[in-house]
Amino acid sequence: MTAKTPLNPENAAAHFFGRNTAFEVTSFGQGNINDTWKLTVSQNGHPQPYLLQRLNHLVFRQPEQVMANISNVARHLMAKNYASGILHPCADAKGSILFCDEASNSWRVFPFFECTTTLETVENPGQALVASRAFGAFLEALADLDPASLHETIPGFHNSVARLAVFEEAVAKDVAGRLAGVREEVALVLKESALFQHIFNLKLPLRVVHNDAKIGNILLDEPAENAVAVIDWDTIMPGYLLSDLGDIARTMAASCSEDEADPAKVVFRMPVFKAICQGFLPPLRNILTAEERDALHLAPRWIILEQAMRFLGDYLAGDAYYKIRHPLHNLERARNQLALYQSALEQEEGVSACVRE
Ligand code: GN1
Ligand code: MG
């Protein structure tokens, strides 16, 4: 979903730092939903880096609730002396952490973490171990935060049963006239979709989770050896721990990023998944319930299939949700995720053995 109104990051920067302050704004990052800039502000003669973002208000309908959640999580982690990076939103002169411009765009600013990098895909199991341990420690630190204290900023975000109904509607309506070219992909999603109902029948405990635990949401130090911070806190809300493990596996065990256009290159890498389990699960050892433990092996397939369905559904809907960089982008992403799904399915026994260990 793209903004219908012109974006003016300079105006937002001036709002936060004062009309007479010198600053520089450059486009930054790869988000599929929000727009991001690096903002360098001259403060006391020194350049100070910040991250400026426009929240996509067509996706995040109540931006103030997103910011309330982020502040809540930041306070909680501060109080616990959480060891990794904490995202503290910056306030304007009046103390507000959200700025709504005349065109109804919502803007916020965070301090910038210098000398860090993000990955599109992990290069080796060691990086997966580090990144998934950071997600595990993050969830462990949030385990005593009451889920009811957070707003559900996107209702039913990982409710794949509800998402399946939306997908079936997109197939039935075929508004963009694209169904004829993707019947095979649609059939595969529908054939495997019983997994969604199965997951929801398990009645897993609702917890505070990240909900977008992809590799690109871990800041690493420059040699990409240590985790510096878990970032992108926009979707932190009540959800299922399994979906975070699923997104970690989806983006780290995959041999390629979700943007790889050739599905033949996409495989689910078992040695990397093994490292993911070794990183993610130990911090959560005392938290996991028996129901969660028994269902862990389903996490990768669940979230990979959900993501395939979301990309394919968006393609059928005429690319209404995700930013695309070329006309077939959503279709390519869907095919990529379906190849990953099939690779994970073929290695089901290995996946189960890894989570048991
Ligand atoms: C979106 O905007 P970004 O890149 O943080 C999406 C996630 C998807 C992801 C796929 C609010 O995340 O759910 O998994 O793209 N976020 C939203 O890369 O829909
Ligand atoms: Mg996100």
Residue 76's domain spans which residues? Answer: 9-112
Q: Enter the DSSP assignment of 226.
A: S
Whether 232 lines ligand 1, by a CB cut-off of 6 Å, is yes
Report the alpha-carbon distance of residue 188 to residue 83 in Å, rounded.
43
Residue nearest to atom 1 of ligand 1 (CA): 32
Same domain, 340 and 194: yes
What is the residue-level pLDDT of the chain in tens, covering all 357 positions? 555 557 899 999 999 999 999 999 999 988 999 999 999 999 888 999 999 999 999 999 999 999 999 999 999 999 999 999 999 999 999 999 999 999 889 999 999 999 999 999 999 999 999 999 999 999 999 999 999 999 999 999 999 999 999 999 999 999 999 999 999 999 999 999 999 999 999 999 999 999 999 999 999 999 999 999 999 999 999 999 999 999 999 999 999 999 999 999 999 999 999 999 999 999 999 999 999 999 999 999 999 999 999 999 999 999 999 999 999 999 999 999 999 999 999 999 999 999 998
Q: How many angstroms does the Cα of residue 180 sit away from the middle of ligand 2? A: 31
Model pTM greater than 0.85? yes
CB distance 59 to ligand 1 below 6 Å: yes
Beta bridge partners of 229: 219
Find the helix or strand (DSSP H, E) in which 116 lies.
strand 116-117
Q: Closest ligand 1 atom to the C-alpha of 217?
A: 5
The rounded Å distance from CA 119 to ligand 1 centre is 15
278 close to ligand 1 (CB < 6 Angstrom): no
Cβ 39 vs Cβ 52: under 8 Å: yes
Query: If you measure from the C-alpha of residue 233 to the centroid of ligand 1, how many angstroms do you get, rounded to a whole number?
Result: 11
Statement to judge: residues 158 and 260 lie in one domain: yes
The DSSP 8-state label assigned to residue 259 in this structure reads T
Query: Measured between alpha carbons, how far is 120 from 146 in angstroms, rounded to an integer?
Result: 32
**Closest ligand 1 atom to 211 CA:** 13
DSSP state of 214: -
Residue 1 lies in a domain: no
CA of 44 to the centre of ligand 2 (A): 34
Residue ending a domain, choose from 91, 112, 133: 112
Same-domain pairing of 339 and 255 = yes
User: Per the domain annotation, does 330 fall within a domain?
Assistant: yes
Distance 46 CA to ligand 2 centre (A): 31
Q: What CA–CA distance (Å, rounded) separates 57 from 209?
A: 22
**Statement to judge: residues 158 and 273 lie in one domain:** yes
Question: Of ligand 1's atoms, which has the minimum distance to the CA of residue 59?
Answer: 11
